[in-house]
């Protein structure tokens, strides 16, 4: 499975209710290095779903990016619609669709 298979996919809960599209992934380095290339291995730790992921990619979620006040206010509102789903909650991955077990918000 490639990261491009996950980004953009629609995430639904087990009853089929849409939660949003995957906008970003949380990755964790396992400490494994491939001997032939020296590249590190990563695994998916979670999915970032919803509109607030844009501000996250721009660094606004970390708190140290201030930026223009209007952009900061808009991204803060979008952040309320963002949801992070742990990889352990993913039950099924099919092309363009991910089923996850999540608690109601």
State the pLDDT at residue 23: 85
Buried b / exposed e over 63-86, threshold 16 CB at 10 Å, is: eeeeeeeeeeeebeebbeebbebe
State the pLDDT at residue 83: 85
Mean pLDDT by 10 residues, the chain (105 residues): 89 91 87 81 88 59 63 64 88 95 73
The three-state secondary structure class of 20 is strand
The three-state secondary structure class of 67 is coil
Q: How many CA atoms lie within 13 A of 10 on its CB side?
A: 8
State the pLDDT at residue 85: 93
End-to-end alpha carbon distance in the chain: 29
Q: What is the pTM of this model?
A: 0.69
């Amino acid at each position: 499975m490639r990261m491009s298979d996950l980004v953009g996919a629609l995430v639904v809960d087990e009853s089929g209710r849409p939660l949003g599209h995957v906008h970003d992934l949380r990755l964790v380095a396992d400490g494994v290095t491939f001997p032939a290339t020296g590249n590190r291995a990563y695994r998916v730790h979670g999915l970032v779903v919803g509109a607030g992921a844009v501000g996250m990619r721009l660094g606004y979620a970390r708190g140290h990016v201030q930026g223009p006040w209007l952009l900061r206010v808009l991204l803060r509102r979008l952040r309320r619609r963002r949801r992070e789903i742990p990889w352990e909650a993913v039950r099924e991955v099919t092309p363009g669709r991910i089923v996850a077990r999540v608690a109601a918000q």
